[in-house]
Amino acid sequence: MDPITTLTLRAPDDWHVHLRDGPMLKAVVWHTIKQFRRALVMPNLTPPVLTADDVHAYRAEIQDATFPTFEPLMTIKITDRTTPEIVRAAREAGAVAGKLYPEGVTTNSEDGVRSFWDLRPVFCAMRDCGMILSLHAETPGVFVMDREANFLHQYVSPLAVSLPGLRIVVEHATSAAAVRLVDEHPNVGCTITPHHLYLTLDDVVGGALNPHAFCKPIAKTHRDRDELVKAAISGHPRIFLGTDSAPHVIVKKECASGCAGVFCAPVALETVAEVFDRHSVLHRMEHFVAEAGAKFYGLPLNTGQITLRRETWRVPEDLQGVRPFMAGKELAWKSRSL
């Protein structure tokens, strides 16, 4: 049988992206809007998006830098100071999720949560107004390879059981443990990034140090990576694409204290297509990139389509001062702009 040469999909959603603000927003947002109709925009700016007013202001900044066809889905950052009133007002301002970072686990999380269980009234308010709890699921201070599994066990499982009406997303799942947990709890979903479908810790530190493959949570073992691939291509109803595209200028990656984050937006659909193609399940890609997430969030599916063609091209080494995922490598699929 001849290989498929064209793939037409419902216009996709990115359920986790860092669009930044100011000049960086203007430099990188194009890579997201050319492939995604909607994107869940993370709130970890400095200063962060904390309240309804911040949601309005950040949405306006994004809309100013994009086209009306692109819909930014807004989030607030949940901190120890978040209250049920803040949650309700943010929801009314259109925020669809509250993002919780434990203290100090990744970029701009110094003001992250210290007292998870004290936030129960906030979680209840999120449940009651239909806001998703979006989690950076790592326990600070635990050995780096075990942080995700530890957080799932300590916090996510008990919370999912005690508040079955709260919808929870484990963001950028990196481990077999995360996939298992999603299976066990009908109110828990997870996003998987394009890069975690490829990378293991070997790609970061197995040979020469590669700061551009360094992200949080860190890429893990071959077994973890393979379980993520299996989960992504499985058609699971609660597992969907969230790129976690997180651009940092090259000097902030290649230095003594390099930032965590992979800039994968420029190659998001193409790299995902390669994975589905390799497993001969391209027909399931639409579910992963355009359907499962919207259904979990309770949002309508996008109308419109995007087309990818089988076409070899080389990923640029540098895009607006940021090194993209797969820089310098050849990819087998090329996506047309939405």
**In the complex with Zn ion, which residue's Cβ is closer, 44 or 51?**
44
Q: Under rule CB under 5 A, how many of the chain's residues touch Zn ion?
A: 1
| CA angle centred on 162, ends 156 and 165, rounded to 5° | 90
Is the Cβ of residue 66 or residue 109 nearer to Zn ion in the bound state? 109
Among residues 11, 10, 94, 20, the alpha carbon closest in space to that of 51 is found at 94
Q: Which helix (H) or strand (E) holds 59?
A: helix 52-65
CB of 88 to Zn ion, least distance (A): 25
Residue 140 class from Cβ within 10 Å (0-12 exposed, 13-18 middle, 19+ buried)?
middle
Segment contacting Zn ion (CB under 5 A): 32-40, 120-128, 140-148, 238-246? 238-246
84/258 with CB nearer Zn ion? 258
Instruction: Tell me whether residue 9 or residue 182 sits nearer to Zn ion (CB atom).
Output: 182
Q: What is the CA radius of gyration of the chain?
A: 18
Task: Choose one: 53-61, 239-247, 252-260, 310-318; the region binding Zn ion (CB under 5 A).
Answer: 239-247
CA pair distance 333, 313, nearest whole angstrom: 8
Which among 332, 18, 330, 309 is positioned nearest to 172, based on CA atoms? 18
Kindly tell me which of 103 and 128 has the beta carbon lying closer to Zn ion: 103
Among 111, 138, 224, 244, binds Zn ion (CB under 5 A): 244
244 catalytic, yes or no? yes
Closest residue to Zn ion, judged by C-beta, is 244
Cα separation, 265 vs 267, whole angstroms: 5
Work out how close the CB of 244 gets to Zn ion at its nearest, in angstroms, rounded to a whole number. Answer: 4
Provide the minimum distance between the beta carbon of 259 and Zn ion in the complex, in angstroms, as a whole number: 12
Which region among 110-118, 202-210, 224-232, 237-245 touches Zn ion (by CB under 5 A)? 237-245
Residue 263 CB, nearest distance to Zn ion (Å)?
Answer: 12
Q: Is residue 14 close enough to count as binding Zn ion by CB under 5 A?
A: no
Query: Which of residues 51 and 245 has its CB atom nearest to Zn ion in the complex?
Result: 245
Phi, psi dihedral angles at 320 (to 5 degrees): 50, 40
- In whole angstroms, the minimum distance from the beta carbon of 47 to Zn ion comes to 17
Query: What is the bridge-based pairing of β-strands 330-335 and 305-314?
Result: antiparallel
Which residue among the candidates 13, 54, 224, 244 is catalytic per the annotation? 244
- State residue 228 phi and psi, 5-degree precision: -65, -45
Please report how close the Cβ of residue 95 comes to Zn ion at its closest, in angstroms: 16
Query: What is the C-alpha separation between 338 and 336, in angstroms, rounded?
Result: 7
Nearest Cα residue to 39 out of 72, 76, 77: 72
Q: Which residues bind Zn ion (CB under 5 A)?
A: 244
Which residue numbers are catalytic?
244
